[in-house]
Structure 1
């Protein structure tokens, strides 16, 4: 049976989510909400649903509503997430919230704890690993084809360069040095954690190029991040916000290497290559021929459909809350990493240990 959904925040992302729900058999979009009346009304007309201008009115007038999807933005793309998410959880609704889960890590901890107390599903739109290449790569990991982790290299950001630069005028961005870190690092850090597990140590060297400085732009847009995983492997993340044009692997690449093999995903949705470590492989010069799975697409937009469908599928299947894919705890983990990145940068590149996650207790209804 389709799940009844209301969306809060009807700018670009909200309309994107609405379009995804309208083509998903597990979704029944019944309402949209925005504090800007014109946006709510336009979206309601476009998607054939009812418009509301406060979450309270939407929930109280739609008694069968099961899910509230929070697609608001705010400073660093996240400062308007906490209040509506807490309100929806307080009503006992399942919640999907855009990334980052919150603008402030203390608010994120509170939200995750409250959802656990209310026993509702809390998910986050960590959509970058809801792709066919990531699914194939995870099969390599789960089948033992990678072996013990040696390293993970991630490169994600935006193509650009000095000629494409323009100073952002939005008050959500302008004057906020950590916009790129808070608004974007959620994605690559969540992908690294998805494949390699929890991160225990972070060291950061970050900066911004001269053309940003000359324009009075305070955004710390170039991020060089070294990490250690709980399993002993090491990792490196390079992320930049349009300060250069990316080379091999495109705007999004992830390479995970282990004692039995290595995979590399290119351009997020495009393809995954796998190199098997075998006896007799030359130490240098000659690289083994990889197994390449090319999906023939660069349509990143489908990651939204895939991620939203997974959320609806997990709820429909009544999975345990800690097994919900891309759940609130997962989103909190990568926000903790982001704040550790900021702390390391502010301390001149010192190694920082992220704040520990809340412990998993397990649901007795599922752990029999």
Structure 2
């Protein structure tokens, strides 16, 4: 039985609580939140103990694993404190907003030997699992271009680049997961709606010679069909993913028929976006118990942040920026 504590009692923190309270092989031993009443209600709903203090949580609950799901721009100090206390971690994206802070976290985790995972759960959606398999098997041939589009309502924060860093980090991660390392970035951004750079358009060059685009917006709506779309073209075929969990389509060059995956009538789990997190947790716990590295290390969060900062530099200088 793996003992799990949660730091964060907000909206997505409910998914953490649902998963770790509901599994037969984990025990939810405590929840720490910033608002006592809200934290107490969340803990009561999932049969665990609320905590007002991080030190007390660690001392009394003695978790094997701590998950962190705090507001996007408030990750650094609690995460560093947890690492220095010797906790093993699953953190929500983004890792942080500042590259120096990311490096401090990773260095501290390396020194402590911390199990340090980040929740890029999109990788575990059924269409993306199928997309990765098709690419790895060579079904598309040599990749030529990749496209990511993702837009919804604004999650306003202190940073003018919140959309780029906290939401489009999924795009950076998925594009590199499917297409390999991005070598350079060229950016356009607009702040026409509320003063932050709420919509961005990036041109990408991959190390393997492919090119790509990333369009991300906080000026759209998650209610729109096709709010997320991914397309990967190769010399022998093309694949598309619609709305993360909705549809996977594979086409062969020159053929007018296609292979399409959509979840069947009784396959509710595969059409459920929240279940992508359950799938990631299953893989994560398997690695954790075997003493292996996490399936998605926090370094992936640092990499997405590096690409975001390259995009910011490109926009501010008007030049293409190489990314090592």
Could you say whether these structures have the same fold, taking a TM-score greater than 0.5 normalized by the shorter chain as the test? yes
1:341 aligns with 2:311: yes
| Aligned counterpart for 2:276 among listed residues 294, 299, 303 | 303
Superposed CA deviations along residues 241-299 of structure 1, whole A, max 9, x for unmatched, are 1347998x70111111122222111111011111123xxx2xxxxx6211111125653
Q: CA RMSD, aligned part only?
A: 2.1
Cα distance, 1:137 vs structure 2 = 1.1
Cα distance, 1:174 vs structure 2 = 5.5
Superposed CA deviations along residues 303-345 of structure 1, whole A, max 9, x for unmatched, are 22222232222212322x2xx2221111111111111111111
Cα distance, 1:351 vs structure 2 = 0.7
Work out the CA distance in 2 between the residues paired with 1:174 and 1:115: 27
Q: Is the 8 A contact 1:24 1:309 kept in 2?
A: no
Work out the CA distance in 2 between the residues paired with 1:257 and 1:121: 36
1:294 aligns with 2:262: yes
Q: TM-score, length-normalised on structure 2? A: 0.92
Cα distance, 1:72 vs structure 2 = 0.7
| Aligned counterpart for 2:321 among listed residues 345, 349, 352 | 352
Which residue in 1 is equivalent to 2:169?
A: 186
Which residue in 1 is equivalent to 2:114?
A: 120
1:135 aligns with 2:129: yes
| Counterparts of residues 268-287 of structure 1 (less than 5 Å) | 268-277=244-253, 281=254
Structure 1: gaps (5+ residues): 161-167, 282-286, 357-368
1:195 aligns with 2:196: no
Work out the CA distance in 1 between the residues paired with 2:299 and 2:149: 24
The 3-state SS of whatever aligns with 2:23 is: coil
1:180 to 1:113, Cα distance in 2 relative to 1, 3 A: same
The 3-state SS of whatever aligns with 1:242 is: coil
Which residue in 2 is equivalent to 1:37?
A: 36
1:153 to 1:14, Cα distance in 2 relative to 1, 3 A: same
1:87 to 1:31, Cα distance in 2 relative to 1, 3 A: same
| Counterparts of residues 148-167 of structure 1 (less than 5 Å) | 148-158=142-152
Cα distance, 1:62 vs structure 2 = 2.3
Which residue in 2 is equivalent to 1:326?
A: 296
Work out the CA distance in 2 between the residues paired with 1:245 and 1:37: 31
| Counterparts of residues 154-233 of structure 1 (less than 5 Å) | 154-158=148-152, 173=156, 176-209=159-192, 212=193, 217-233=194-210
Superposed CA deviations along residues 65-97 of structure 1, whole A, max 9, x for unmatched, are 111111111xxx2x2211111111112221011
Work out the CA distance in 1 between the residues paired with 2:306 and 2:158: 23
Which residue in 1 is equivalent to 2:56?
A: 57
Cα distance, 1:21 vs structure 2 = 1.6
Cα distance, 1:126 vs structure 2 = 0.8
Q: Is the 8 A contact 2:199 2:219 kept in 1?
A: no
Which residue in 2 is equivalent to 1:257?
A: 233
Work out the CA distance in 2 between the residues paired with 1:34 and 1:53: 7
Q: TM-score, length-normalised on structure 1? A: 0.81
Cα distance, 1:119 vs structure 2 = 1.2
Structure 2: gaps (5+ residues): none
Cα distance, 1:240 vs structure 2 = 1.2
Which residue in 2 is equivalent to 1:102?
A: 96
Work out the CA distance in 2 between the residues paired with 1:353 and 1:180: 21
Work out the CA distance in 1 between the residues paired with 2:117 and 2:158: 30
